[in-house]
């Protein structure tokens, strides 16, 4: 894995620096940082998949201008953070949710801090942030979750061992006509990385189609709540969430490839922006991010959260999503469960017209919602 110091600099907005933080739970963590100063409260921003710390490039200057010291790491398995293995057959345990939350705790300590005023997580980063705040409310004093609702932990730890839900769902979806496969299971398969890295259309076209498919720019996205976690309801999800069983992700999203005019009009993800993702994933691969999904579908890790059974997130929490994002409904009941999973829930907000990449598609609207939420928090470090 190439060391960050040997890589070309990232094209960052003024005032944002890139550096490595050593000794973080076995990692050298790459962070983007801006707005540091005496008595400026800290926000920690946690990206999703297939994103990077770079995905916060539009929001960071807005938060900095509002008086915040902002830090965005590349998570374990992503970007310029090193110290993890790409070996598919290696130890998967470092990518389980509790250890990824430990990465955040270790990063806070490595930065010389004891707490941060706000923790913000998007997509894959949402459950990582939620888990960290659930376990360490002393360290993470408020929480914003984006695009992926947190449904809570098991109510009790003394019940029977839960079934292998991922495998049961996979078998049920296989029985549909045509047979389907949930994207988390597709991402867990040994050939998932090669399917994307070596796709016929090339990595740049694949990533353009992938980002477009889940965005508000894709006018086919008209999400609705799913009534129940049944195969028939899951089959209502777009193909990028529940694939045709004989297709991989690259072939699936190729059907959503936007035309040249749509690409030219996409100011939230220009071709220069996309080229950053392409370079980083071409160099680093997708396996680190895919390992998150493997932990999600692996029954060995299904019981990790039973340790916290009955516990709620106790810090002030809100949820922000895009009105055109199927992702907020992909787990039936999760969005409605958030007020029950949090003892100080401050509301659900949907940004009109935005899709899954709400932090990139609508940074001004999301930042305004975040700042309004933070002003209402009782944290002693809040503005």
Indicate if the pLDDT at residue 154 is higher than 80: yes
Indicate if the pLDDT at residue 85 is higher than 80: yes
Burial class (CB in 10 A: 0-12, 13-18, 19+), 344: middle
Residue 164, Cβ neighbours under 10 Å: how many?
14
Indicate if the pLDDT at residue 364 is higher than 70: yes
Q: Report pLDDT digits (tens) over 123-146.
A: 999 999 999 999 999 999 999 999
Which range (131-140, 156-165, 230-239, 311-320) has the least confidence?
A: 156-165
Q: What is the DSSP string of 155-207?
A: S-SSSPPPP-HHHHHHHHHHTSSS-EEEHHHHHHSTTHHHHHHT-TT-HHHHH
CA distance 276 to 278: 5
Give the pLDDT of residue 5. Answer: 64
Q: Is 347 helix (H, G, I), strand (E, B) or coil?
A: strand
- If pLDDT is split at 50, 70 and 90, which confidence band does 4 have? low
Mean pLDDT on 332-345: 96
Mean pLDDT on 111-128: 98
Read off φ and ψ for residue 198, nearest 5 degrees: -115, 25
Q: Facing residues of 116 across strands?
A: 140
Q: Report pLDDT digits (tens) over 13-54.
A: 999 999 999 999 999 999 999 999 988 999 999 999 999 999
Name the strands in the sheet holding 317-322, side by side, starting at the edge strand that comes first in the sequence: 17-24, 27-34, 69-73, 42-46, 118-122, 143-146, 317-322, 345-351
Supply 262's token pair: 């749509």
- Domain annotation for the chain: domains and CATH numbers: 1-383 (3.40.50.1820)
Q: Report pLDDT digits (tens) over 215-254.
A: 999 999 999 999 999 999 999 999 999 999 999 999 999 9
């Amino acid at each position: 894995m190439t060391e960050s110091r040997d890589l070309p600099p990232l094209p960052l907005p003024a005032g944002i620096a890139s550096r490595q933080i050593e000794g973080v739970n076995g990692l050298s963590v790459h962070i983007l940082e801006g707005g540091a100063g005496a008595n400026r409260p800290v926000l920690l921003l946690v990206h999703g998949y297939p994103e990077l710390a770079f995905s916060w490039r539009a929001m960071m200057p807005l938060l900095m201008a509002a008086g915040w010291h902002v830090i965005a790491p590349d998570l374990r398995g992503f970007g310029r953070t090193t110290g993890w293995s790409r070996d598919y057959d290696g130890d998967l345990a470092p990518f389980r949710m509790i250890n990824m939350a430990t990465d955040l705790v270790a990063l806070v300590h490595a930065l010389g801090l004891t707490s941060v005023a706000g923790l913000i997580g998007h997509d894959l980063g949402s459950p990582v942030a939620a888990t960290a705040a659930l376990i360490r409310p002393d360290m993470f004093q408020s929480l914003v979750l984006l695009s992926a609702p947190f449904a809570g932990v098991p109510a009790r730890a003394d019940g029977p061992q839960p079934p292998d839900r991922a495998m049961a769902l996979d078998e049920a979806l296989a029985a549909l006509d045509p047979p389907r496969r949930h994207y988390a299971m597709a991402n867990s398969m040994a050939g998932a990385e090669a399917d994307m890295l070596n796709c016929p259309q090339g990595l740049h076209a694949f990533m353009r189609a992938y980002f477009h498919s889940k965005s508000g720019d894709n006018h086919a996205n008209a999400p609705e709540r799913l009534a129940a976690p049944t195969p028939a309801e899951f089959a209502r999800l777009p193909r990028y969430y529940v694939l045709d069983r004989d297709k991989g992700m690259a072939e699936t999203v190729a059907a959503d490839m936007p035309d040249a005019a749509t690409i030219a009009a996409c100011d939230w993800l220009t071709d220069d922006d996309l080229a950053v993702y392409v370079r980083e994933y071409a160099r680093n691969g997708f396996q680190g991010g895919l390992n998150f999904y493997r932990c999600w579908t692996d029954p060995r890790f299904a019981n990790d959260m039973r340790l916290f059974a009955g516990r709620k997130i106790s810090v002030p929490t809100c949820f922000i999503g895009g009105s055109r994002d199927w992702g907020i409904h992909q787990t039936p009941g999760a969005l409605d469960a958030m007020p029950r999973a949090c003892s100080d829930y401050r509301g659900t907000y949907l940004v009109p017209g935005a899709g899954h990449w709400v932090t990139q598609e609508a940074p001004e609207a999301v930042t305004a919602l975040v700042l309004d939420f933070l002003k209402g928090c009782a944290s002693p470090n809040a503005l």
